[in-house]
Amino acid sequence: MNSYEEQYLDLLTDIYNGGVLSNNRTGINTRKIWGAQIHVDLLHEGFPLLTTKKMHWKSVVHELLWMIKGDTNIQYLLKNGVTFWTEWPYQKYLNHCKTLTDPDYDVHIEDLEKNCVREMTQKEFEQEIINNDEFAKKWGSIGRYGYGGMWRNFPFYDNSDPHCNKVPTTTTIGAKLDCHYETSSGYACEVGHVDQLADVIDSLKVNPDSRRIIITAWHPYHSNNREDALLPACHNYIQFGTEELTWHERLEIAREKDSRNENMYNKYSDEDFDRTGIPKYRLNCYFNMRSSDTFLGLPFNCAFYALFTHLIANQLNMIPSQLVYTAADVHLYENHLEQVKLQLTRQPRDLPKLNIKTLGKSIFDIKFEDIEIIDYNPHPAIKGEVAV
């Protein structure tokens, strides 16, 4: 059964047939609908990697590891063969090149203020980012408040003292103090930065029933400032929640782990299951998107957050259960319509399975080699150009 992909193909059909024509900042019109939701059963159906077109699994994993690190520079991605974030830094580079009056300098000059001195192809730009650390530092950033920055270093302020004389002596879990922010209108006290991901892990450990286990990637100021975020977060709100497993559910898990002691487990109490490391909770994830590119982006977003949920559950000895996607502006770009027609002719196959080789490993220490996808049997890939 693959109800995830059936829901996805139904959504493609709804937008293709009934979407409203809309223009946007990219210059490529879309067909869009307002509001959509997809429910993914991680517990029973497998891992949500589309089968009606082959997906680049490597990109899903490396993008998540990149954000978990709090990284906002594309050098890591490019060194690992992931290119879909290049467009935005590359366009910034080209726009700067066009402002220079003398385009004949060599790109490797030491003066980094003049280190954008000739137009190059996107492939050349990517190689320069990979091979030249100084160039990457200057031109490889997606902005300080791109996804990883917001996840691991979300800023908070205290404007009560215009000269920033006061710094709190205590902080919340995951907060770092750093009082040095100045605005054009005067001084504002940037008290520190919150590590939202660390807070999520800690909250799930100590208060798994909380309704406040949230990561936000949207900032009212920084997300709308192009220098701070070249592409404002599309998936901008993530919430995790748990459900306690019943005694019978825990019994089945214990039996699966050790069928030799099947009869013994019938006598176990919940305390016995706790003592022997049988999971106590299901872990659910809900993520919201302000803008959802349904052909190119959405399949990666669902696989991305499914993997995110699995990695957290793996660290905390929980069972990945529900993944819920919801979005506001849900659209198809007009240069993807032919590809969508082809995809809709294909029949979904069984979803693959995910295997994490290192049980209990911290999400902050997980490597690409720790994760593998099993029994993935998709139709051929269908390519489409990203709209920048």
With the C-alpha atoms ordered 123, 233, 238, 47, is the resulting torsion angle positive or negative? negative
Output the pLDDT for position 256. 86
Whether pLDDT at 157 is above 60: yes
Please state, in angstroms and rounded to a whole number, the distance separating the CA atoms of residues 265 and 322. Answer: 27
Among 93-107, 136-150, 248-262, which is the least confidently predicted range?
A: 93-107
Average pLDDT across the chain, whole number: 88
Output the pLDDT for position 231. 87
pTM: 0.88
Buried/exposed 127-142: b ≥16 CB within 10 Å, e otherwise? ebbbebeebbebbbbb
Among 4-13, 100-109, 218-227, 228-237, which is the least confidently predicted range?
A: 100-109
Enumerate the active-site residues: 234
Q: What value does the mean pLDDT take over residues 127-147?
A: 94
List pLDDT tens digits, range 87-130.
999 989 988 887 765 544 444 444 444 555 567 899 999 999 99
Which two structure tokens, joined as six digits, stand for 241? 């929640």
Q: What value does the mean pLDDT take over residues 149-174?
A: 62
Please state, in angstroms and rounded to a whole number, the distance separating the CA atoms of residues 202 and 121. Answer: 45
Please state, in angstroms and rounded to a whole number, the distance separating the CA atoms of residues 386 and 333. Answer: 9
Q: What value does the mean pLDDT take over residues 248-274?
A: 86
At residue 204's C-alpha, the angle toward residues 200 and 206, to 5°, is: 115
The model's confidence at residue 165, banded by pLDDT at 50, 70 and 90, is: very low
Q: Which helix (H) or strand (E) holds 68?
A: helix 57-68
* CA 291 vs CA 32, 57, 294, 297, 352: distances in Å: 10, 22, 9, 10, 27
Q: Which residue has better confidence, 10 or 155?
A: 10
Whether pLDDT at 58 is above 80: yes
CA atoms within 13 A on the CB side of 259: 1
Among 149-163, 202-216, 335-349, which is the least confidently predicted range?
A: 149-163
Q: What value does the mean pLDDT take over residues 78-89?
A: 94
